[in-house]
Structure 1
């Protein structure tokens, strides 16, 4: 019988979550992008102040989250493999988005046509990763109970609600709701990363043989 992944991975999850929420650094690095208007990705534009910190944050969050997929895949029960795949997809998507940042901040002025290619790649992997996080968060609600389920449900509702709002506003010709919605969603996804690893301890206790 497989043992559940050890909750000693919790510090890794916390660091990944904090790195994922790197937009919180914006006021401290002189970022010009107003997240009430622009989107979080604009913080990583190479010409913007402090952009290196946002790319490092995304890269670190991506690698650490992808790393968390390994113990869950190897040690968790079969149903947990879905969330392990979602962790890997989110992690790799976030890492690639750090390697291929957008090259222009539309909220600060017009962008040249040459910026479209990088934007498509960056947005594509970001959407794929976020979708994986939303799906895994919903599955986590199903697999948990008690206080952990209540927290997972809150996180899933915020993440899903923000995602739907962003999709609707994007197809209405907007920029996905701007940074306000994104900030809540990023915080929800960061919380999901931590709750996922916290759930491993519960998983282990459920699978431990009775004496």
Structure 2
């Protein structure tokens, strides 16, 4: 099986690019960040502070999270509820960053992610795929862009969904998550040693995708 790992900071376009790449190659797309978001949502709904790592770890037993694929699209479920849209708020983004620093959470999701890669050709995106989850992936890419451009993309995405958002707040929260993700003790956000760096600053979505596609094709051809 072929595994393509795409890591990078929030707002870099990982999910969009990975989804398009998987469709182009006929692979399964796995958005690992959605799994952490689902756990963050679960904890918030239970009234558990996501910065209280002991409490988060102690309540993992009640979490039933799974991925389903419909017409090539990934859907995320908590028990029987499709939470694919509910997990896409800024509030849950911060919660996801918090719970992702909990070792027990990462262990909880580790086998699920690896099992998908064992059974399918996958394009998997996240923040530690090439370094921790799939260290033997045939292709490792670190996708990034400037903080300002990433914040603008996230801001427009939120507004398109009808959600209230302020650009300055989005930028501040994005920079904070960048810091939190890159400084956490467990699986920090860093490029794998053999990752190919792809910077999409100033590129249109199509230009970024074509650059990514060429990079992957060069590695697997």
TM surpasses 0.5? no
- State the TM-score, normalized to the length of structure 2: 0.28
Larger radius of gyration: 1
Larger RCO, structure (CA 8 Å, separation 6 or more)? 2
Higher strand share: 2
Higher helix share: 1
